[in-house]
Structure 1
Amino acid sequence: MSSEDFDRRFDAGDDISDLIDWGAAERINDIERVALDLPGWRVRRLDRLAAESGTTRQALIARWLAERLDGAA
Structure 2
Amino acid sequence: MKTEDFDKAFDDGQSVVEHLDLTKARRPNQEQRRVNVDFPAWMVESLDREARRLGVPRQSIIKLWLAERLERQAS
In structure 2, what is the equivalent of residue 64 of structure 1?
A: 65
Q: Which runs of 4+ in 1 moved over 6 A?
A: none
CA distance in 2, matches of 1:33, 1:63: 16
Any stretches of 5+ residues in structure 1 without a counterpart? 1-7, 14-24
The reply on whether 1:49 has 2:37 as its aligned counterpart is no
Q: Percent identity?
A: 42
| Structure with greater Cα Rg | 2
Unaligned runs of 5+ in 2: 1-9, 15-26
Q: Partner residue of 2:29?
A: 27
Q: TM-score, normalised to structure 1's length?
A: 0.61
Count matched residues: 55
Q: Deviations 1:7-63 (Å, cap 9, x if unpaired)?
A: x94x814xxxxxxxxxxx8332x1001111011111011100111111111000000
Aligned-residue CA RMSD (Å): 2.6
**CA separation in 1, counterparts of 2:46 and 2:29?**
32
